[in-house]
């Protein structure tokens, strides 16, 4: 997992939980005083352990934390990739073009990078079908990112997960629609 995600998770813990949450999370996850740098990669299991520790600390389910974290990530992701996001796009445009624009750049900059594979099909002018595939199975983060993209564009999005890898599906199938 890319270090940017860990750096943002620390910022999320500091912002949403406060206090000494990050240190408690690292200790509970068995990571001691482990430092994370945005330009490095870390084992995926460490993210899982940190999120599980945050769940215990806050009493919130892991899925809810991951969705909230996904939404929290959006301002930083938009800042990082703003040069390749056309100003005239809507929330659904950004979601539809993430694989071809943003993930393509991520993979070009780092051949070892492994963002999720997103297959997006426009169902109508107001909805897209997102097929999410990743061995990390972080579909909750994807749903949170979609919600955050909607917030970024001041558009209310309705997110409906039709199939999920956590229940045995080969991919998560998520319909994202702009509310009327």
In this predicted structure, the answer to whether residue 111 has a pLDDT above a threshold of 80 is: no
| One domain for residues 165 and 119 | yes
The mean pLDDT value of the chain amounts to: 95
Transcribe 152-166 into DSSP letters. HTT--EEEEEEE-GG
| One domain for residues 15 and 54 | yes
Q: Which of 60, 76, 100 is the last residue of a domain?
A: 60
The predicted pLDDT at position 39 comes to 83
61: left (phi over 0), alpha (psi -120 to 50) or beta: beta
| One domain for residues 98 and 171 | yes
| One domain for residues 81 and 149 | yes
**Percent of the chain surpassing pLDDT 90:** 87
**Domain containing 160: what range?**
66-178
Beta bridge partner(s), residue 24 = none
Transcribe 74-114 into DSSP letters. HHHHHHHHGGGS-TT--HHHHHHHIIIIIIHHHHHH-TT--
In this predicted structure, the answer to whether residue 153 has a pLDDT above a threshold of 80 is: yes
| One domain for residues 48 and 137 | no
Domain count, the chain: 2
Of 39-43, 50-54, 79-83, the range with the highest mean pLDDT is 50-54
CATH of the domain at 105: 3.90.1520.10
| One domain for residues 114 and 45 | no
């Amino acid at each position: 997992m890319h270090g940017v995600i860990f750096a943002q998770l620390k910022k999320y813990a500091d912002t949403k939980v406060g206090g000494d949450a990050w240190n408690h999370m690292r200790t509970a996850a068995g990571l001691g005083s482990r430092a994370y740098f945005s330009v490095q990669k870390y084992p995926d299991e460490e993210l899982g352990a940190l999120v599980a520790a945050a769940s215990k600390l806050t009493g919130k389910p892991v899925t809810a934390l991951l969705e909230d974290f996904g939404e929290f990530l959006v301002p930083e992701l938009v800042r990082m990739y703003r040069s390749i996001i056309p100003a005239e796009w809507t929330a659904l445009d950004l979601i539809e073009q993430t694989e071809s624009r943003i993930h393509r750049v991520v993979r070009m900059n780092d051949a070892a990078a492994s963002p999720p594979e997103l297959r997006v099909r426009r169902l109508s002018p107001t909805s897209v079908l997102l097929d999410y595939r990743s061995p990390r199975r972080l579909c909750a983060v994807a749903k949170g990112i979609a919600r955050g993209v909607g917030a970024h564009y001041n558009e209310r999005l309705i997110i409906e997960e039709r199939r999920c890898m956590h229940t045995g599906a080969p991919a998560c199938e998520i319909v994202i629609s702009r509310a009327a």
